[in-house]
Structure 1
């Protein structure tokens, strides 16, 4: 893999070089933008408003807009001189239990591999985090902005996971329902959860590509698509819970049989 960032991890008086590598790779199916009148592809061009003309990519730069509307051009050399300590350092602020980090704030994950001469302190940090169950909360500048991040161990290596800032999390408002539930409903819901506990995420596949192929084929041939059945809201919650538990038991067997196996 090609490193996307290199720098140092700093915690206390210990510092070690690391390199970051993208830990995930999405495989999106992209639909092209077309002109509805003739189905031709639509292109997005770089256009200079002042000169009223299209410009090539090598003439495109970046700039910061001031309050009065003026633009201050910022070249890559300027950004390289940004006086930000986290530009080349993962600055560990402290350690907290992993459970204290709300997954809603999780951003992009990176593999953090040891740099030259860092094997011993790197292995020490991985093992210490694994033993304590804690994660390191840090700041780091990635992709032209500073991010909150956590460092956690996974299969003997460090994962650097960027986090959203608190002001980037939206307030849900009054979305939470205020309707009370009964003890019997809770009992059945917990029983259903226990019946359905256990799934191998690696066996779950993305069906979107296949569904898209079916749609395209139907558009070409004039064939009919079979719409999948949609679940309907339960009119009788207790009856739905009881039948769900019975169906789960039929599919997986009673708990005692599963424990014996």
Structure 2
């Protein structure tokens, strides 16, 4: 693993030397902006619209918007006062039941690797967290920026998840959605059928079964175009129609998934192919 940080996990009087490495990296297809006339990358310039002139890097300063269109200049030296001090410790503040942490707070994931001769305490902490179903909330400084983090056991190893702070999560929209759902009721029959449909479409999560199909299709197109070939444009997927008769859509979906609309063990009866079930549900939406 390529380490981007080396230090310690600290909880109680125990310290565990660890290295931090990236756990995620987007592999989107990237593009450059080219001049249409020359097919060469164009350069972005810093431009001062008030003076209608280009500005060099030494002539720029950060600005904080006090009010609409009014900015307060702030020098880098001023901001350095508030930079987190470099630390070599991931300080565990407390342990929590992992189910209590809403994934909406998850930001970016890193792997934690034990350094040499630290395997035993690392394995001990991992197993203790794994068997208790708990994770650790802590603080961690990376590149002068302090992060709130969650340490969690993942398949026999530790992952570090940086967390959004409470003020980063858009709770106003969350409240608005909850308010809209106040008083909305569903019948016991509808709920039972929906639960059967969920059970019929349930299987273990295998991320390798869900590759980025859009990226693969785009790369195929670009490679073919670079080779002078022509590919047919992909067909546009039909937009699903809104459900008018919810009960009819549920019944059709259950029939397509192989589950009985009349009850029974949904998990046992819903062993049909999930893809076929999804297609059946789509047909039911269209029929509605």
TM-score band by shorter chain is 0.7 to 0.9
Deviation at 1:141, TM superposition (A): 1.4
Partners of 2:97 and 2:73 in 1: how far apart? Answer: 46
**Secondary structure of the structure 2 residue equivalent to 1:125:** helix
Structure 2 contact 199–267 (Cα < 8 Å) conserved: no
**Secondary structure of the structure 1 residue equivalent to 2:24:** coil
Cα shift readout 1:150-186 (whole Å, capped 9, x = no counterpart): 1112232211111111110002232243432111111
Number of the residue aligned with 2:177: 175
Asked if residue 205 in structure 1 is aligned to residue 211 in structure 2, the reply is: yes
Cα distance 1:34–1:185, how it changes in 2: closer, same or farther (>3 A)? farther
Give 1:47-62 correspondences, 5 Å limit.
Answer: 52-53=53-54, 55=56
Could you tell me which runs of 5 or more consecutive residues in structure 2 were left unpaired when the two chains were aligned: 260-265, 272-288
Deviation at 1:65, TM superposition (A): 6.6
Deviation at 1:212, TM superposition (A): 3.1
User: What TM-score, normalized to structure 1?
Assistant: 0.78
Structure 1 contact 9–16 (Cα < 8 Å) conserved: yes
Partners of 2:62 and 2:131 in 1: how far apart? Answer: 46
**Secondary structure of the structure 1 residue equivalent to 2:177:** coil
Asked if residue 16 in structure 1 is aligned to residue 16 in structure 2, the reply is: yes
**Secondary structure of the structure 2 residue equivalent to 1:21:** strand
Partners of 2:13 and 2:63 in 1: how far apart? Answer: 36
Partners of 2:117 and 2:61 in 1: how far apart? Answer: 37
**Secondary structure of the structure 2 residue equivalent to 1:138:** strand
**Secondary structure of the structure 1 residue equivalent to 2:193:** helix
Could you tell me which runs of 5 or more consecutive residues in structure 1 were left unpaired when the two chains were aligned: none
Cα RMSD over matched residues?
3.8
Cα distance 1:65–1:193, how it changes in 2: closer, same or farther (>3 A)? closer
Cα shift readout 1:219-238 (whole Å, capped 9, x = no counterpart): x9595552122221111111
Partners of 1:65 and 1:138 in 2: how far apart? Answer: 30
Which sits farther off after the overlay, 174-183 or 146-155? 174-183
Partners of 1:244 and 1:2 in 2: how far apart? Answer: 47
Partners of 1:235 and 1:112 in 2: how far apart? Answer: 50
Deviation at 1:53, TM superposition (A): 4.3
Cα distance 1:92–1:189, how it changes in 2: closer, same or farther (>3 A)? same
Number of the residue aligned with 1:194: 199
Deviation at 1:4, TM superposition (A): 0.7
**Secondary structure of the structure 2 residue equivalent to 1:174:** helix
- Specify which of 258, 267, 286 is matched with residue 249 of structure 1: 258
Deviation at 1:36, TM superposition (A): 7.3
- Count of aligned pairs between the two proteins: 249
Structure 1 contact 87–141 (Cα < 8 Å) conserved: yes
Number of the residue aligned with 2:43: 43
